[in-house]
Amino acid sequence: MKLSEYKLERNAFGRVVAIGKDQIYESVIPVRAFPITAADEGVALVDGHGHEVAWIDNLVELQESERTLIEEELASREFMPEIKRIDKVSSFATPSTWQIQTNRGETSLILKGEEDIRRLSLATLLITDSHGIHFLIRDRLILDHHSNRLLDRFL
């Protein structure tokens, strides 16, 4: 079902409501189909039971107001900091604490083992820290030399 058949609104509780011709879905949630490889392509609106209500091929084809609404909603639910720089690692043997700069600020993560670094594509890495938080390195090649050298010891 295309999104054009619905009207999206935020209700008084801050939930997104999808209003169709003959049905109203309270609190729909936008979900990205490819959050890592193609974040803007394919977003589904699912209801509280996980059933798909509407499908958006690409966020850019939406009207301004609806897109902001969905993006706000996505932003409030997504937490996958992107690593911009690795400042320091406590040791090259795991477990190891990394001091890092992310797009959400400076923090540290504890890497339990090398296997928690997963290669999603040639240059994209996903790092799971000891608390299960995922950190993304979207493109290894554009990291600075220092970070890359540290990272390389774990790959």
Partner 1 sequence: MHSNTSDLLHLVPADFPSAWNRQIEPTLINHEQVIAWLETDLDHQLHFSPGLIVITTRRILARIAGDEHWQAWHYQPNMKLAYQDHAGICSIELSDTSARLARWYCTLSKQQAADQLIIHFIRLIDALDTQAALPAKGMAEQASSNQNTAGNDDSSEAAYAHHDQEATSTPPSTWTLFRLWRFARPYKWQLFTGFMLMLGSTAAALVPPYLTMPLMDNVLIPYQNGHPINVDLVIFYLSGLLGAAIVAWILGWARTYVLARISERIGADLRTTTYEHLLKLSQAYFGGKRTGDLMARIGAETDRINLFLSLNLLDFATDVLMIVLTVIILVSIDPWLALITLLPLPIIAWLIHLVRDRLRVGFEKTNRVWAEVNNVLADTLPGIRVVKAFAQEVREIERFRAVNQRNVEINDRVNKVWALFTPTVTLLTECGLLVVWIFGIWQVSQDHITVGVLTAFLAYIGRFYLRLDSMSRIVSATQKAAAGTKRIFDILDHVSSVPEPVKPVHLPAIKGHIELRNVGFRYGTRRVIQNFNFAIEPGEMIGLVGHSGSGKSTLINLICRFYDVTEGAILIDGIDIRSLPIADYRKHIGLVLQEPFLFFGTIAENIAYGKPDASRKEIITAARAAHAHEFILRLPYGYDSLVGERGQALSGGERQRISIARALLIDPHILILDEATSSVDTQTEQEIQGALDNLVSGRTTLAIAHRLSTLQEANRLIVLDHGKIVETGNHAELMACQGHYYHLYQSQSRSPDNEESSVEPGNLSDIRGNRV
Q: Which residues of 3-20 are buried (b: 16+ CB within 10 A; e: fewer)?
A: beebebeeeeeeebbbee
Q: Which is nearer to partner 1, 19 or 120 (CB)?
A: 120
| 67 SS3 class | helix
The answer to whether 42 contacts partner 1 (rule: CB under 8 A) is yes
Beta carbons of 29 and 19 less than 8 angstroms apart: no
The answer to whether 50 contacts partner 1 (rule: CB under 8 A) is yes
Q: For partner 1, what does the binding mask look like between residues 51 and 70, x meaning CB under 8 A?
A: xx----x-------------
Q: Which is nearer to partner 1, 77 or 146 (CB)?
A: 77
106 CB contacts (<8 Å, ≥6 apart)? Answer: 99, 100
The footprint of partner 1 on residues 130-149 (CB under 8 A) is none
Binding site for partner 1 (CB under 8 A): 31-38, 41-42, 44, 46, 50-52, 57, 115, 118, 120
